[in-house]
Structure 1
Amino acid sequence: MNKPSSRKKIGVVGIPGKWSTEVLADRLEAQTGFRAVIDMKDVELRLDTNQVIWKGLDLATLDGLIVKKISEVYAPSTEDRIHLLSHLESLGVKVFSPTKSMGRLINRLSGTLALQQGGIPMPKTRVTESAELAFATVREYGSAILKPLYSTKARGMLILGKGDSDEEVQAKLAEYRQHNTIFYIQEALDLKGRDLGMVFLGGEYLCTYARVAGGDAWNTTINSGGRYEKHDADGQLIELGRRAQACYDMSFTTVDIALTDQGPVVFEVSAFGGFKGALDGCGVDAAAAYSDYALAQVGEGK
């Protein structure tokens, strides 16, 4: 067994026990001999001593932190956790990805606006607080998806189809409104049961995998029974993904892209990116690559 090649200490912010969190911690530990899987609910900011403490460890003494998952589900409170990490940045700890970039992607609206301002093709999208305007938009689109501003893996999304009566549409809008102040409405496109995840590390392209829907699911997420496959992206598609992720400053991310009859569109750029799709779909150990990248950034990589 090779001895660790680095004395640098990089912690992993994530969900203890989750595969993606633990495999990243494994890769870092193999290179550095140091392991810390940090659940943000156990972190304390001590402004009187200017410390950020986790289980007795002053996180400001670390060389870096990789944020693999900051919370199980996205919520406004997730942004509070990012503020705590931003204080560590101010103390000189390298955070991957930068907290400003992650913060823009936690909220779906701010993430969407960055893509819009970057000239990235997206599905038709409208945002309003008005239930009346939301109803009119759904009827104009024919088929639409209601998306919460804070969600991952299609959680909380509602599909409204052409076959829904006015009463059914209004009922779904009312159901959505119980948990959301703003209606984020996106035209439902025919994905033919397939969309893509394009992986970037430090702005450089790694690979593209496909998510293929399982059964009658309307979305392709693995949570809904989807599976991963390799996809050979052409140069134009890779350039679109590169432009989309360049709207932010992400250390590691996945760009969600769909191929439609009107051309490729970008749904979103991930705040954290995924390892499983790269591994199962492309055979790429993105966790190992991310570990190498972070160590190089803090000054002691391969």
Structure 2
Amino acid sequence: MAEPKIGIVGIPGKWSTEALADAVEARTGFRLVIDMADVVLDLHERRLMHGDVDLCALDGLVIKKISESYSPHALDRLEMLRLPEAAGVRVFSPPNAILRTIDRLACTVTLCNGGIPMPETLVTESVDQAVEAVGRLGTAVFKPLYSTKARGMAVINGSTPDREIRAAVEAFHADNPVMYLQRKLDLPGRDLGLVFLKGNYLGAYARVAGGEAWNTTIHSGGRYASFEPPGEWIDLAKRAVDLFGLDFTTVDLAETADGPVIFEVSAFGGFRGAKEGAAIDAAALYVDHVLERVRP
């Protein structure tokens, strides 16, 4: 019996994309890395072509990365992948599940409606309301609705003069008409990534801030470290994961004086953090999970 043909949607040459492709090839002998910038959607013929390969004819697709950076355009790429899904191709994670995690606002509203504790959050298009919120919150982190690794985020300190606060808010608003801001929490120099495969907890790691950076991302000089969270934190992260229906994800959690809070449920999960911080071979485990569901 022929092995299933599984394609990897991602960024060619990127470590996590290639790790997944390696794991698929090792198990099936088939390798296909799909850059969504190169696909053609033909709705009349009901085909989604990548070169001479019709993705609707594959057995499965694993979405590791939909684009180099997040934007509303990334949502369009996910919509295109609904065609092979409708044709019977198993897609991991389902496009509709990922749609609600790439958009920060959609993710946050889902978490809020699910009763998940989060930092105090305000969303507005009004500069006046945002300026007032900074004064009330003390210091606020302004976040683009589509971003990863803290890119495009701004920290605005409520103790600075009013004119400086307004100028900073207006500068952020110029690129982000819908402003998403959260109270800046007093964290212990780290936050956590809790790794889940189809809702099952695999392990956790810490992201430790480097130098004077306000955030813990590796992009800003942070590093990964091992960490074993308490059981109640794992249970909280599991509740958050269950709201989305993702096959693989990482939950971003932080400890505060008032207990744990969730920042987000990741659209794709952190392979490198799982590997370096928790010794989890996410690519191998994920591919095993996929093949169990694709093989007849």
Tell me how far apart the structure 2 counterparts of residues 162 and 230 of structure 1 sit (CA, whole Å): 34
1:145 alignment partner, SS class: strand
Which one of the candidate residues 64, 83, 87 is aligned to 1:87? 83
CA–CA distance in structure 2, aligned partners of residues 96 and 21 of structure 1: 14
Aligned to 1:238: 234
Matched with 1:281 is 277
Q: 1: CA distance between counterparts of 2:168 and 2:268? A: 30
* Mapped partners of 1:47, 1:258: distance in 2: 44
Tell me the distance in 2 between the aligned counterparts of 1:6 and 1:67: 23
Q: How far 1:6 moved relative to its partner?
A: 6.6
Q: For residue 127 of structure 1, report the CA deviation from its aligned partner.
A: 0.6
Shift of 1:238: 0.5
- After TM superposition, give the deviation of residue 163 of structure 1 in Å: 3.6
2:29 equivalent in structure 1? 33
| 1:191, distance to aligned residue in structure 2 (A) | 1.1
**What is the distance in 2 between the residues matched to 1:8 and 1:172?**
53
Instruction: Give, in whole Å, the separation in 2 of the partners of 1:203 and 1:15.
Output: 25
Q: Is the 8 A contact 2:56 2:83 kept in 1?
A: no
- Residue of structure 1 equivalent to 2:53: 57
1:201-280 superposed matches below 5 A: 201-280=197-276
Shift of 1:235: 1.1
Q: Partners in 2 of 1:299 and 1:143 — Cα distance?
A: 52
- Code of the residue aligned with 1:281 in structure 2: it is G
Q: Aligned-pair distance for 1:299? A: 2.5
- What amino acid is the match of 1:137? A
- Given that 1:6 and 1:31 are in contact with CA atoms closer than 8 Å, whether structure 2 keeps it comes out as no
Partner residue, 1:167: 163
Output one character per residue of 1:48-67: Cα deviation in whole Å (capped at 9) or x when no partner.
21110001100111111000
How many percent identity over aligned positions? 53
2:144 paired residue among 148, 151, 154 = 148
Partners of 2:34 and 2:285 in 1: CA distance: 20
Structure 1 residue runs of 5 or longer lacking an equivalent are none
Q: 2:288 aligns with which of 277, 287, 292?
A: 292
Counterpart in 1 of 2:134? 138
Per-residue CA shift, 1:84-132, capped at 9, x if unaligned?
0011111111111011100011111011000001000000001111100
The structure 1 residue matched to 2:12, chosen from 11, 16, 27, is 16
Deviations 1:116-153, CA, capped at 9 Å, x for gaps: 01000000001111100010011100010000111111
Amino acid at match of 2:202: L
TM-score (norm 1): 0.96
Structure 2 residue runs without a partner (length 5+): none
After superposition, the CA RMSD in angstroms is: 1.1
Q: 1:161 to 1:279 in 2, by over 3 A?
A: same
1:48 equivalent in alignment to 2:44: yes
Q: With structure 2 as the length reference, what TM-score do the two structures score?
A: 0.98
Q: In the superposition, relative to structure 1, how do residues 297 and 111 fare at CA in structure 2: closer, same or farther (>3 Å)?
A: same
**Alpha-carbon distance in 2 for matches of 1:105, 1:120:** 15
Aligned length: 296
1:119 aligns with 2:106: no
Q: Deviations over 1:25-64 (max 9, x none)?
A: 0011000000000000000001121110001100111111
- For 2:294 and 2:142, the matched residues in 1 are separated by 41
